Amino acid sequence: MQDDSRPTLVRGVRLHWDEVRKQQMLLYPEGAIALNATAAVILELCDGQRTVDAIATELESRYQGATVRDDVRHLLERIASRGLMKL
C-alpha cells in the first residue's frame, strides 16, 4: 500500500451502526465485523477521495499527540486482505 492510495470499501460492504450492540459494524454479504471506535473512525474516512496519508494526518490532528500511521496502515491492510476494501 502506498501513502497516495485512496482506500474505499468494495461494493456490497458498508458501515452500519448496530443499535443493539451500540457499536459500528462492517457489514458484507458473508458476515459482519464488530469494529472498535478507532477502526470505525478510520473506515469512515475511507471514501475513495482521501489518501492513506490524508487519513492519518486527519486523525493525528483530531487526536493531538497520537501517532496513528502504522495503525491506519495495519487496519487497511487487514480489511483489504479479506477482500472488503480496494487500496
* pLDDT tens across the length of the chain (87 residues): 899 999 999 999 999 999 999 999 999 999 999 999 999 999 999 999 999 999 999 999 998 878 899 999 999 999 999 999 999
Number of domains in the chain: 1
Whether 86 is covered by a domain: the verdict is: yes
Residue 75 lies inside a defined structural domain of this protein: yes
Q: Is residue 66 part of a domain?
A: yes
- Residue 49: its H or E element: none
CB 5 within 8 A of CB 43: no
In sequence order, the 6+-apart residues with CB closer than 8 A to the CB of 18 are 24, 25, 34
Residue 24 within any structural domain of the chain: no
Q: Is residue 17 included in any domain, yes or no?
A: no
- Quote the domain boundaries for residue 57: 36-87
Per the domain annotation, does 31 fall within a domain? no
User: Alpha helices of the chain — where are they, by DSSP H?
Assistant: 37-44, 52-62, 69-81
How many angstroms separate the CA atoms of 52 and 77, rounded? 11
